[in-house]
């Protein structure tokens, strides 16, 4: 995904498209703005609490998730996703909300 380009664009590998061919999709300014807001939210610094097993005390820390090129934009799975169903699963999830 290239949000910095004008217009922003997303490269889709053929294995995830209906026609099995690679393609580039151009995004509107509104979609680009919303994706930037989502990424800012996804990678925000947040407070995390956990129990220190050694001392038994609860520890609170502020952590910021690391951005990686391989991260999915919308991760909707708790287990390994089926690449052939990513698009369908995302559409179904968005239709429910």
Q: What is the pLDDT of residue 78?
A: 55
Q: What angle do CA 61, 65, 70 make, to 5 degrees?
A: 160
Are 59 and 49 within 8 A, CB to CB? Answer: yes
Mean pLDDT by 10 residues, the chain (97 residues): 82 82 89 87 91 92 86 61 72 71
**Whole-structure pTM value:** 0.56
CB proximity list for 46: less than 8 A, separation 6 or greater: 62, 63, 64
């Amino acid at each position: 995904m290239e949000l910095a380009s004008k217009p922003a664009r997303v490269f889709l590998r053929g294995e995830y498209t209906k026609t099995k061919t690679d393609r580039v999709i151009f995004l509107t300014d509104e979609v680009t703005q919303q994706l930037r807001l989502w990424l800012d939210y996804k990678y925000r610094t947040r407070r995390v609490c956990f129990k220190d097993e050694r001392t038994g005390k609860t520890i609170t820390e502020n952590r910021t998730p690391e951005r990686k090129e391989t991260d999915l934009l919308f991760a909707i799975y708790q287990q390994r996703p089926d690449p052939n169903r990513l698009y369908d699963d995302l559409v179904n999830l968005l239709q429910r909300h």
